[in-house]
Amino acid sequence: MTFAEPESGRAVEPESRIVLGCIADDFTGATDLASNLVREGMRVVQTIGVPTEPLSLDVDAVVVALKSRTIPPAEAVAQSVAAARWLKAQGARQFYFKYCSTFDSTPAGNIGPVADALMTELDTRFTVACPAFPENGRSVFKGHLFVGDALLQDSGMRDHPLTPMTDSNLVRVLQAQTHRKVGLIDHTVVAQGATAIMARMGSLMASGISIAVLDATTDDDLRRIGPALKDLDLVTAGSGMAIGLPRNFGIAPRDVAGRLPAPRGRRAIVSGSCSLATNAQVADFQARGGAAYAVDPLEFQEDPGSVDAALRWAADALQAPNAGPVLVYATAPPEAVKAVQARLGPAQAGQLVEHALSRIAVGLVERGVGQLIVAGGETSGACVQALGIRQMRIGPQIAPGVPWCHAQSPHAGSEGLHVTLKSGNFGAADFFSSAFDLLDGKE
Ligand code: ADP
């Protein structure tokens, strides 16, 4: 699959047809959605950006991962429409615009403008908005979004650096972002099931409403809503709504959905996350006797050769007979990170580490690593880019929101590699070992 100007995707006939085409406004959110669809039985590919060549894998859904949450609205619209056109060319019958379950947006967008543009592109008069993800504590009641027990406006999202959410009333929040009329289908209707929800959609439409916020506080609500969305061209939602849609296409949970090629090659972990969870995971890996090498951002700055030294260490460790997984990590406790940031500045420290770890990941894959764990959201972005990965088949879930994936890379052999991208606070302390156990079929 190659990437070029978005429009060219329309000209070529796809080799396989999908049923559901998803557009996600950030990378980890895309994986989260993809993973939920796999759990419900869909075979899913996630692409990084909008591809231009037709899809070559036989799957049920594609999630196009954009980075459009906080870019200017016009750019988010252009990218999302390009994604919709490509997905349409692959056969998508229904489209899913996926945003964060905390409805991350600013008064200018980008949820409203993107939903508007997709409705125009798909020539559709009505859609819904449902960020609820009860499994993760996100629920919508009378149009108000709750994060755990707190209203959105009283949650940590109030102080988000890029998308502070100071109003929990989603009808009001969305109305401020779109010229279309926004309404509500509340829990009393949702509780009555699909027929009642569809009837309400009809009456809202007749009264001039184009987008309906949906109440949902439980997975049962999402499963009741699912069949009511069967005939919509466009659904806008968090990743939770994924549990309600596959059945509309006659798809039920099945093992084949998450089946990946047999794992091969050596095993490695590259960790640039400094979250509490990742610090515990690095400590757990070492406590189990795993081979680990700490890298130091200050050293990277003073001696560029230190990246090669880390790579040599890891390559040697992998040569040992019966070598287990090796870990190269910049992961450090908060005091150490602060000290480095005070010397280098946070941005430069981050860049140095991301550049070094992504070079190490590429070097390891070139030396036969076929099973790679990357810890850290930004670190993952840097590694995926350096490895030239453009699409990933989504496999079984290691921890909520973190699946194993299989990808082709110009740096790997023709069989490709297994990779998992774990952002910050995801996963239990034994994540690294349980991830490899899962590939081994031990779990
Ligand atoms: P997370 O998902 O936990 O937020 P990220 O990879 O997104 O992890 O972000 C961690 C950032 O911290 C990256 O930019 C990484 O390069 C940087 N970093 C990693 N280790 C250190 C360190 N020891 N000192 C300073 N910055 C670091």
CA distance to 115, 118, 346, per residue, from 210 (Å): 11, 13, 44
pLDDT at 10 over 50: no
pLDDT at 112 over 60: yes
Could you give the CA distance from residue 14 to residue 315 in angstroms, rounded to a whole number? Answer: 40
Helices (H) and strands (E) in the chain, counts: 14, 18
| Confidence (pLDDT) at 15 | 56
Average pLDDT for residues 380-387, to the nearest whole number? 95
* Probe residue for ligand 1, chosen from 31, 379, 383 as the CB with the greatest number of ligand atoms within 8 Å: 379
* Residue length of the chain: 443
Give the chain's domains with CATH numbers.
3-254 (3.40.50.10840), 260-439 (3.40.980.20)
Query: If you measure from the C-alpha of residue 210 to the centroid of ligand 1, how many angstroms do you get, rounded to a whole number?
Result: 42
Q: What percent of the chain has pLDDT over 90?
A: 85
Query: If you measure from the C-alpha of residue 197 to the centroid of ligand 1, how many angstroms do you get, rounded to a whole number?
Result: 45
| Confidence (pLDDT) at 23 | 98
pLDDT at 14 over 70: no
- Per-residue tokens: 104: 């991350």
pTM of the full predicted structure? Answer: 0.90
Query: If you measure from the C-alpha of residue 329 to the centroid of ligand 1, how many angstroms do you get, rounded to a whole number?
Result: 10
Q: What percent of the chain has pLDDT over 70?
A: 96
| Confidence (pLDDT) at 443 | 60
pLDDT at 8 over 80: no
Taking only the tens place, the pLDDT of each residue in 34-68 is: 999 999 999 999 999 999 899 988 999 999 999 89
CB 170, CB 140: distance < 8 Å: yes
Could you give the CA distance from residue 219 to residue 225 in angstroms, rounded to a whole number? Answer: 10
Give the binding-site residues of ligand 1, using a 6 Å CB cut-off.
272-275, 278, 297, 330, 332, 336-337, 340-341, 349-350, 353-354, 376-379, 423-424
Closest atom of ligand 1 relative to the 296 alpha carbon: 23
pLDDT at 146 over 60: yes
pLDDT at 301 over 90: no
pLDDT at 28 over 60: yes
In terms of pLDDT, which residue wins out, 6 or 426?
426
Average pLDDT, the chain: 93
Could you give the CA distance from residue 213 to residue 76 in angstroms, rounded to a whole number? Answer: 21
Could you give the CA distance from residue 375 to residue 373 in angstroms, rounded to a whole number? Answer: 6
Taking only the tens place, the pLDDT of each residue in 201-241 is: 999 999 999 999 999 999 999 999 999 999 999 999 999 99
Could you give the CA distance from residue 109 to residue 87 in angstroms, rounded to a whole number? Answer: 23
The model's confidence at residue 161, banded by pLDDT at 50, 70 and 90, is confident
Query: If you measure from the C-alpha of residue 167 to the centroid of ligand 1, how many angstroms do you get, rounded to a whole number?
Result: 31
Taking only the tens place, the pLDDT of each residue in 168-193 is: 999 999 999 999 999 999 999 999 99
pLDDT at 12 over 70: no
Query: If you measure from the C-alpha of residue 272 to the centroid of ligand 1, how many angstroms do you get, rounded to a whole number?
Result: 5
Average pLDDT for residues 97-101, to the nearest whole number? 95
* Probe residue for ligand 1, chosen from 67, 269, 271, 273 as the CB with the greatest number of ligand atoms within 8 Å: 273
Q: Ligand 1, atom 27: nearest CA belongs to which residue?
A: 350
| Confidence (pLDDT) at 166 | 93
In order, the DSSP letters of 170-221 are HHHHHHTT-SS-EEEE-HHHHTT-HHHHHHHHHHHHHTT--EEEE-B-SHHH
The model's confidence at residue 375, banded by pLDDT at 50, 70 and 90, is very high
pLDDT at 151 over 50: yes
pLDDT at 13 over 60: no
